[in-house]
Structure 1
Amino acid sequence: MENPKSADLLGLEIVEMAPKNENNPNPNKTYEPKNEIQNVVESDLAEFESVNDSLDELSTALDSIEQRTDSIMAELKKLLHSNREIRQSLAEEKTTSGEVNSDSEMK
């Protein structure tokens, strides 16, 4: 490219040209590809919906696990209570039979 002084001497006008942008033929206008934006928004919404569905499934699974855990805990408490009653009953029988045996040995 010639320097500006040479161009002026020759009477040529130097015009800077911006590279041609195929997506934006008019450099003064902003280009918003509405179809592309709409496609992106729709795909994002579909992805959000998919994630939301997955979270709902996980929540349902966790609720089910929590219910089973609560049920197991209730059964374990019943078993523990029953076990305590049996142990107390056996301890009472043992002390009662021990007293009977000691009474019969004294006679």
Structure 2
Amino acid sequence: MSPKNNHDPSSSGDSGNTNVQEADLQEMEDVNNSLDALSCALDAVEQRTDDIMSQLRELLNSNREIRRLIAEENDNAPESGDDNMDGQAGSEAAPK
């Protein structure tokens, strides 16, 4: 949003020009304050997103490790139809 151009070239006198400059400066300050507030809000959102991504990566790595351990346990488990929890014959591999 650009400052409003309230300058009337047909008017004479410095008092009108000073008021226009003050109004423009106030409007620019308001815009700057709004931009600063938006920037702070964006920084907070970005930080929260980074935190969530970090937590998701930790969860993914944890799940991969658990899956690896379960696969190792299944590979080391005795091969019998009763012990296999997925209902498949003991010699068949579990889906991965």
TM-score relative to the length of structure 2: 0.69
TM-score relative to the length of structure 1: 0.63
Higher RCO (CA < 8 A, seq sep 6+): 2
67, 82, 90: which one aligns with 2:70: 90
Q: Which ranges in structure 2 are unaligned for 5 or more consecutive residues?
A: 1-9, 81-96
User: Structure 1 runs of 4+ off > 4 angstroms?
Assistant: none
* Correspondence for 1:101: 79
2:59 alignment partner AA: L
Greater helix fraction, Structure 1 or Structure 2: 1
Cα offset for 1:31? 6.3
* Correspondence for 2:15: 35
Larger radius of gyration: 1
* Correspondence for 2:93: none
Aligned-pair identity in percent equals 52
Considering only aligned residues, what root-mean-square deviation do their CA atoms show, in Å? 1.5
Q: Which ranges in structure 1 are unaligned for 5 or more consecutive residues?
A: 1-29, 103-107
Cα offset for 1:58? 0.3
| 1:78-107 superposed Cα distances (whole Å, 9 cap, x missing partner) | 00000000000111111110xx236xxxxx
Secondary structure class of the residue paired with 2:19: helix
* Correspondence for 2:52: 72
1:90 alignment partner AA: I
Q: How many residues align?
A: 71
